[in-house]
Every structure is written in C-alpha cells, then in structure tokens.
Amino acid sequence: MKKTACLYFTTIVLGLSSVFAQEKDNISAEETIDYINSKITGIAKLENVKGLLLVEFYKNGKANRVDRVNIDKLNPENIEYIADEKALVVRCIADDCIDRRIEVPKTIGQFSRMSFKGEYDAKAQTGLVKAFEHLIMLYRDRKYKNNTPFEN
C-alpha cells in the first residue's frame, strides 16, 4: 500500500511539474509594449488603452507630441528600419489613421506613419520590427499565437 501511495504521489508531482514547465503559448500585448518601451526609452513611450495605442514622443527630454491610433489599423507587413532616416517606421493600412497632436506649436493632424528616430543596433532593429508586428497581429487576429522571442 505504501509503495502504491508513493508511486501515485510521485506521478502527480511529476505530472504537475511538466504542466508548469511548459513554454508560454503567447507573448502578451503588455509584455510586447514593455519590450518596445525598453528599446525606445527617451524617444517615446507607448501605452495601450483597450486597443488604442497612445504614443508620447519626447524632444529635449520633454513630451512634445502624442500620436493615437487603433492598433488594428497599423500594417504589420509595412514596418521597417530606414537607415537613411535613422528611424523605425510603422505605417497604417490606409492613409491617415494616426491622430497626431503636437504641443508646441499647437497643431492637430492625421498621418499615415509614425517614426521612432534613434540609432538602434541590428538586433534591436529586428526585435522592434518583430515586436510591432506581433502587437498588431494580437489585435487583428484573435487566434494569433507567437512565443518566439523578438531578439534571438
């Protein structure tokens, strides 16, 4: 009886440990935004409010402009780092999906892209492109799953 109980207990413990040791099946939107924010510190800060992406851009250490866009309106197939501009560029599916408000001078307009100017190494460039693609796909396709790290 003791052998059976011990065997039963061991089986349960091993079974539960394999369940907890499994890889995560998806990187969350929050984790993705945390990753992006870690790479664009001092340039901008992203915040997700129920699928609305608020991006606060900084100039000389102060908030200068805010872009607002529904995440699912961004194009996951048209994100790139443009070396000539030294900027990561995220584009809309259609024209003018980004509501931009600039503090000084006070202006409001609609735009079709956001640019995150900065010198990123090759690993960060690739990681940021993958992270934005992942974030957009999370909102475009509810069945989308991906647990591949943004940087390998």
Q: Give the residue extent of every domain in the chain.
A: 25-140
Residue, of 12 and 70, whose pLDDT is higher? 70
Q: Tell me what pLDDT residue 24 has.
A: 65
Q: What span, in angstroms and rounded, lies between the C-alpha atoms of 74 and 49?
A: 15
Topology adopted by domain 25-140? PH-domain like (2.30.29)
Q: Phi and psi of 4, rounded to 5°?
A: -65, -45
Whether the pLDDT of residue 145 is over 80: the answer is yes
Q: What pLDDT, on the 0 to 100 scale, is given for residue 106?
A: 82
State pLDDT tens for residues 73-118: 999 999 999 999 999 999 999 888 999 999 877 888 999 999 999 9
Contacts with 95 (C-beta within 8 Å, 6 or more apart), sequence order: 112
Percent of all residues in the chain with a pLDDT value above 90, rounded to a whole number: 70
pTM above 0.85, yes or no: no
User: Is residue 93 within 8 Å of residue 72, measured between CB atoms?
Assistant: no
52-59 β-sheet, strand order? 44-49, 52-59, 62-70, 98-102, 107-111
